[in-house]
Structure 1
Amino acid sequence: MAEPGLKGSGIEADLAIDDLLRVIHELRVRQIELEMQNESLREAHRLSESKLADYIDLYDASPIACLTLDNAGFIGRINAPAIALLHSVSGRAGTQRLANFVADESLLVLASFIDNIVIDSGIHSCEVALRPGDVCHEERFVQLSGRACATGQSCIIALVDITEYKRITDALLRAVEEAERASAAKSRFLTVASHDLRQPLQSLCLISWVMARKADDVQIRALLAEQEQALGTMSAMLNTLLDINLLDAGIISYNPIGLAVAPLLSRLGRDFAFQAGAANDVLHLVDSSLIVQSDPKLLEQILRNLLSNAFKYTHDGRVLLGCRRRGGHVRIEVWDNGIGIPEDQIDSIFEEFHQIDNPHRQHRHGFGLGLAIVKRQAALLGHSIGVRSRPGKGSVFWVELPMGDVVTAPSAPLSSQDNDLVTPFHHRSVLVVEDDPSVGAMLEQLFIAEGCTVIWARTGNEALTFADKAFDLVVTDYILPDGMTGLDVLSCLRTVIVTLPAILLADDIATDSLRQIVMEPDCTHLSKSAKMTEILSAAGGLLARSVCCSSSAVGRAVASTVYVIDDDPHVRKAIAALLHEEGHEVYLYPDAETFLRTHELGREGCLLVDAVMPGMGGLELLDHLRKQSDSIPAIVMTGHGDVPMAVAAMKAGAGDFIAKPINPEEMRAAVASALELGRDVAAESARRADAIRCFASLTPREHQVFERILTGMSNKVIAYEMGISRRTVENHRAAIMSKTASKSLLDLYRIARLFGA
């Protein structure tokens, strides 16, 4: 029988063996797992190697130049297209910087490009110039596009050669510049040619018109009629060229309104009925109740050009004018069954001077500008135009415009009957500024025949010598021989009479000049070849408007004269416009020195002068006038309205003063008061009596506060000096304003001036 101790030891040994077997088993399981994981890693590695090989093959075989760049700017890997583009050497990875291949002027761009890639994970691009090398000496440009790699330690960049693109772009820019220079040269040529052609044309028109009025012989009248027709053809050609340039300049004014189509089509049908009959054509109108949104005048011109074009190329045929709805738009169409348009000329018919079936450029068939004008007018209005045509079958031209809701009544112009009533030419004074002897003489005779007094100046400087005369109208050429333009002359004359009407005979069709003429108020632009009836009609319209502007003076004597002196031209014009409405005669001066050169002692009226101006200020002017014993009433305008300025103005002899910005009602009242002061001393005495009564109602303490207010003291200073509270001063001040019926300190100063305080 075994001993118990030995038996226990055997059990423990058995247990140790079991534990060892379990550990061995677990280790074998772990080994199998690791072997499986190793196999997976080896498979993943093989797959990764395969993908990397594919990527490298794709990278190297890519037709797009690519390279990798580390954060220090060294090239890591570069494919064949990039080697060819940069003229680099393969196999030198990590030894070359990309900056070595970039031109010096593009290094900063490249540095900024790389910094952006490092900072931001997005895609960035830039354009750089490459440095000329031994292989290629020409200037080359590339576009770089790149982003950072996943590791953040490098980036991949694609390079695209844009040298040819840059060359084409530069060539296009040069072509555009050359076209702009050619266009400018064309405008200059048209400017000179038009002016030089219109000078004799204007003379011929004037002479023809005068001869027609005096000729009694029937044959002579017939010859003059033929001559007028020939002159009209020349004038039409020049006017058409002028229309083209006006449209190109973008200064044609327009006013889209709700417009009914039916009356427009009906009017065009009546106007073209004779032309249709003369060509044995039939004009058919399709009635419509639609309303469109467009400018009536420009739209009618567009349709007239399209109809004229249809009748020009249609004989013994039909022309149809109608419209149809297309969604929210209306398309007005002109159909004809004329000769049609060859397909290769469809894109050219809206160009200048392009004509079909007129190889010899016969003027009776026009000048080939009608459709070019249509294209520009439609573009100005935002309307689309188009054409469909079949040679030998006919054409259809259309203009598409937005549909309108309601018909808008256009503003009615001043009728000719009204012109005759309010604008007789008799006893009107006209200044003619024209260097051409024949044109100037004929214009002089034209207005003399209408009963006007005419002064003819040959130059701009000569015209300015008559600036002190009260002209009713100025008729001036735009181009004058002494370096001045008609606008320069008009601007100088309007420093005296701001609303002086003017007619500019302008053939300078340069864009800037046209814009200046159009923007000038009360100014009508006519061509040098304008008919006498057109000149007289324009003159009548301007004179009518100038009379209407002073309609308040109708039926009574014109109010007194106001002399406005201010260095700001906008302020002068605004004041003049306001005073003209009151019926006053206004003279404008840019400075005190100009006023003194033309001022006569004892002249009636009143003076409205700015306190502070370059040179002699308004207060100095008043002091000068008082020393000359000139008692003309004066109103001082001040930009601050402060007490010292008001006191100085009163000491200088100002009857009143107003603060800028000027209140229109306040200025009207001040001017009326000053004019009345000059005419009636009794009124001054009455106002002085009112001021005395106002001050008699003040208490002694209020008198003390009032005296300190006039010195410019603030409420705080007055309170300290008088030993009272600020609140008490405010109460006294309010009482003073109430008792004197003053709404502001300026009112208080006026009353103090009348009282003599």
Structure 2
Amino acid sequence: MKELVKEKERFFSSAYHDIQQPLAAINLFIRSARVKLEDKHPASHDLDVIEETARDILDMFKDIQDYSELGSYTPHVVPVDTQAVLTEVFMQYLEPARSRGIELRLSARRHSPPPIETDRSLFKRALSNFVSNAIKNTSVGGVVIGWAEIGDRLRIDVRDTGVGIAPAHREAIFAEYYQINNPGRDRSKGLGLGLSIVHRVIGILPKHSMSFWSAEGRGSRFSLYAPISEMAPVIGTDDQRSAASTSVLQGRYVLLCDDEPTVLEGLRRLFLSAGALVDTAESMAGFETILADDGRIPDVIVTDIRLRDGPTGIEVAERIRRHFAWAGVLPVAFITGELVSPRALRDFAEPFVLLRKSSAPESTLDEVSRFVAAQQATALGQARDL
């Protein structure tokens, strides 16, 4: 039985990776086409439809990825700026709500909510899932994000004017893959993992809880409870990273490695659009000639982890690092379509970052840009110390 379970896990991981490959290529080439076409080009609408469909699939994969990784996640609880998180989630879902004809509002108060003690990324994910779920299940009216102080805890509310939840479903809505009023499995409504992810997040975060109220035909209110912090909030990564610009990659030298030719070409176009200088290869063998020329030191190595034949992406990165060892440890961005935990890279020397093929091309470009900018800043700081 154990061997059957392991075989099932191996199959699922391989299938997940293999499906990610063409999906990543679709999104990369959509972006490439948009760069070439004018906004009012007749094909723009077709690209909109393709992009929306791809986004639905990406959202499903992100849910699977998040649900899989939560089992080994260790929370990092710090004082968090609640207002910043609410604003980010509000801005994230403002356009999706508008596209469905739904009004999304952030409740106005005379003062901002107090900071809370939480893991910022986990709490934001839980709140995002509540908002996304509310939008998907509301056809008329709107969704409001609000908050209230309840003793030493803060309650964050997401209210909607949606279909509501019948008593018969209320015990099951947090179960995996459970969906109400979706017998045809409309993909725009996801896989039914959103609320189950929230349930797992609450189980991981200390002193957190949740509740919900609902009335059929009138809507629902989902609430998150978190302990109020007496300390000043720590500036979250998301608060400052967004200031980084893809202009950081202008003139930078990037080595790209992926065993899927269409994905590799899509990534090449993506980084070229940011002004980077790019060399590509599908395996370590393809880089041997480049390294033999002993040319310019790459500013960043971007590689898939699973490669079809020969060395893995990790081994490729280590080989290139050894070749340029005299120049210091080169930064590496792993872009994977597998269900890989960051712990799998615990023996790999920093600096490195783990990115997902399920991310939108712009997100990938932004993440690599921020990563390169951070390495620049570190190098400058070390130079000043000398």
> Shorter-chain TM-score category?
0.7 to 0.9
Secondary structure of 1:348 counterpart: coil
What is the one-letter code of the residue matched to 2:344? Q
Corresponding residue number in structure 1 for 2:79: 257
* Corresponding residue to 1:413 among 234, 240, 243: 240
Corresponding residue number in structure 2 for 1:627: none
Corresponding residue number in structure 2 for 1:398: 223
Counterparts in 2 of 1:312 and 1:215: CA distance versus 1, 3 Å: closer
Corresponding residue number in structure 2 for 1:294: 118
Corresponding residue number in structure 2 for 1:456: 280
* Corresponding residue to 1:228 among 41, 51, 54: 51
1:196, distance to aligned residue in structure 2 (A)? 1.3
Q: How does 1:9-24 map to 2 (within 5 A)?
A: none
Corresponding residue number in structure 1 for 2:366: 537
Is 1:386 the counterpart of 2:211? The answer is yes
1:392, distance to aligned residue in structure 2 (A)? 4.7
* Corresponding residue to 2:315 among 488, 494, 512: 488
The separation in 2 between residues aligned to 1:484 and 1:377, in whole angstroms, is 36
Secondary structure of 2:171 counterpart: helix
Is 1:443 the counterpart of 2:267? The answer is yes
Counterparts in 2 of 1:278 and 1:290: CA distance versus 1, 3 Å: same
Corresponding residue number in structure 2 for 1:307: 131
* TM-score normalised according to structure 2 size: 0.80
Counterparts in 2 of 1:461 and 1:386: CA distance versus 1, 3 Å: farther
The C-alpha deviation readout for 1:12-48, integer Å capped at 9, x for no partner, is xxxxxxxxxxxxxxxxxxxxxxxxxxxxxxxxxxxxx
Corresponding residue number in structure 2 for 1:202: 24
The C-alpha deviation readout for 1:184-209, integer Å capped at 9, x for no partner, is 55543332122211222222223322
The separation in 2 between residues aligned to 1:249 and 1:435, in whole angstroms, is 29
1:437, distance to aligned residue in structure 2 (A)? 1.8
CA contact (8 A) 2:300 2:372 kept: yes
* TM-score normalised according to structure 1 size: 0.44
The separation in 2 between residues aligned to 1:265 and 1:414, in whole angstroms, is 17
CA contact (8 A) 1:460 1:480 kept: no
Corresponding residue number in structure 2 for 1:576: none
What is the one-letter code of the residue matched to 1:515? R
The separation in 2 between residues aligned to 1:221 and 1:417, in whole angstroms, is 28
Secondary structure of 2:343 counterpart: helix
Counterparts in 2 of 1:535 and 1:408: CA distance versus 1, 3 Å: closer
Secondary structure of 2:130 counterpart: helix
Counterparts in 2 of 1:189 and 1:351: CA distance versus 1, 3 Å: farther
The separation in 1 between residues aligned to 2:65 and 2:306, in whole angstroms, is 16
* Corresponding residue to 1:190 among 12, 23, 38: 12
CA contact (8 A) 2:244 2:366 kept: no
Secondary structure of 1:494 counterpart: helix
Corresponding residue number in structure 2 for 1:528: 357
What is the one-letter code of the residue matched to 2:314? L
Higher relative contact order (CA 8 A, sep 6+): 2
Identity %: 27
Secondary structure of 2:32 counterpart: helix
Counterparts in 2 of 1:409 and 1:346: CA distance versus 1, 3 Å: same
* Corresponding residue to 1:515 among 329, 343, 351: 343
Query: Which structure shows the bigger proportion of residues in helix conformation?
Result: 1
What is the one-letter code of the residue matched to 1:228? E
Is 1:246 the counterpart of 2:246? The answer is no
CA contact (8 A) 1:505 1:526 kept: yes
Corresponding residue number in structure 2 for 1:501: 331
The separation in 2 between residues aligned to 1:445 and 1:269, in whole angstroms, is 32
The separation in 1 between residues aligned to 2:88 and 2:369, in whole angstroms, is 28
Counterparts in 2 of 1:435 and 1:338: CA distance versus 1, 3 Å: closer
CA contact (8 A) 2:21 2:337 kept: no
1:476, distance to aligned residue in structure 2 (A)? 0.9
CA contact (8 A) 2:174 2:195 kept: yes
Is 1:215 the counterpart of 2:43? The answer is no
CA contact (8 A) 2:158 2:221 kept: yes
Secondary structure of 1:191 counterpart: helix
CA contact (8 A) 1:190 1:509 kept: no
The C-alpha deviation readout for 1:249-269, integer Å capped at 9, x for no partner, is 316x644214345x6556666
Secondary structure of 2:157 counterpart: strand
What is the one-letter code of the residue matched to 2:353? T
CA contact (8 A) 2:301 2:332 kept: yes
Unpaired runs of 5+ residues, structure 1, are 1-176, 553-580, 584-664, 669-757
The separation in 1 between residues aligned to 2:59 and 2:347, in whole angstroms, is 25
Counterparts in 2 of 1:547 and 1:419: CA distance versus 1, 3 Å: farther
CA contact (8 A) 2:59 2:190 kept: no
Secondary structure of 1:377 counterpart: helix
What is the one-letter code of the residue matched to 2:254? V
1:242, distance to aligned residue in structure 2 (A)? 1.5
1:445, distance to aligned residue in structure 2 (A)? 4.0
Secondary structure of 1:367 counterpart: coil
1:289, distance to aligned residue in structure 2 (A)? 5.4
Secondary structure of 1:353 counterpart: coil
Unpaired runs of 5+ residues, structure 2, are none
CA contact (8 A) 1:286 1:321 kept: no
What is the one-letter code of the residue matched to 1:304? S
Secondary structure of 1:386 counterpart: strand
Secondary structure of 1:550 counterpart: helix
1:543, distance to aligned residue in structure 2 (A)? 2.2
Corresponding residue number in structure 2 for 1:135: none
The separation in 2 between residues aligned to 1:316 and 1:387, in whole angstroms, is 20
CA contact (8 A) 2:21 2:260 kept: yes
Secondary structure of 2:254 counterpart: strand
Counterparts in 2 of 1:501 and 1:386: CA distance versus 1, 3 Å: same
Cα RMSD between the aligned structures?
3.6
The separation in 2 between residues aligned to 1:395 and 1:417, in whole angstroms, is 38
Counterparts in 2 of 1:294 and 1:435: CA distance versus 1, 3 Å: same
Is 1:371 the counterpart of 2:195? The answer is yes
Counterparts in 2 of 1:324 and 1:361: CA distance versus 1, 3 Å: same
Corresponding residue number in structure 2 for 1:340: 164
Secondary structure of 1:218 counterpart: coil
The separation in 2 between residues aligned to 1:220 and 1:318, in whole angstroms, is 32
The C-alpha deviation readout for 1:149-184, integer Å capped at 9, x for no partner, is xxxxxxxxxxxxxxxxxxxxxxxxxxxx76x964x5
The C-alpha deviation readout for 1:31-86, integer Å capped at 9, x for no partner, is xxxxxxxxxxxxxxxxxxxxxxxxxxxxxxxxxxxxxxxxxxxxxxxxxxxxxxxx
